[in-house]
Amino acid sequence: MAGAGSGDRNPRGAVSTGGFGDASNAQPSARRTTRQPDTTPVEILSKPRPLYTAEARQLRIEGEVLLDVMFGASGDIRVQRVIRGLGHGLDEAAQRAATQIRFNPAKREGHPSDSVAVVHIVFALAE
């Protein structure tokens, strides 16, 4: 093994550049603390249960529909697309349920802001 000095900190014996460890890196960490964006995410207040279709209930389909949803700064909701669906009318039922979500909009710099999120709508039959 190598002798004392920088070789002691590197047990594999790789070459290390002298003087690098002594450099002060105070500026990058200071930048990180001053550049934090003043944002808060959407806060979901209530999420209604989706309604089963008769066909899905008869076929005993359970699972999750994933929706790409725009939560508007003004309080409106737009389902942009179904990411993963279940079919048998459940995708449409999930979209109807999503439009009834109550929420506080995201905020950027203290002002309401549009934001996009993936919403999970779960379909589970009670036993």
DSSP letter at 122? E
Report the CATH number that the domain containing residue 44 is assigned in CATH.
3.30.2420.10
- 19 belongs to a structural domain: no
- 20 belongs to a structural domain: no
pTM above 0.85, yes or no: no
Mean pLDDT of the chain: 81
- 4 belongs to a structural domain: no
**Whose structure tokens read 């070789």?**
7
Mapped onto helix, strand or coil, the DSSP state of residue 119 is strand
Please report the pLDDT score of residue 126 as a whole number: 80
The Cα 117–Cα 37 span in angstroms is: 18
Burial class from Cβ neighbours inside 10 Å (0-12, 13-18, 19+) for residue 90 reads buried
Please report the pLDDT score of residue 33 as a whole number: 54
- 104 belongs to a structural domain: yes
pLDDT digits (tens, 9 = 90+) for 51-70: 999 999 999 999 999 999 99
The Cα 66–Cα 76 span in angstroms is: 19
Structural domain including 116 reads 39-123
What is the band of 41 on the pLDDT scale with cuts at 50, 70, 90? very high
pLDDT digits (tens, 9 = 90+) for 83-127: 999 999 999 999 999 999 999 999 999 999 999 999 999 999 985
- 14 belongs to a structural domain: no
When divided into structural domains, the chain yields a total of: 1
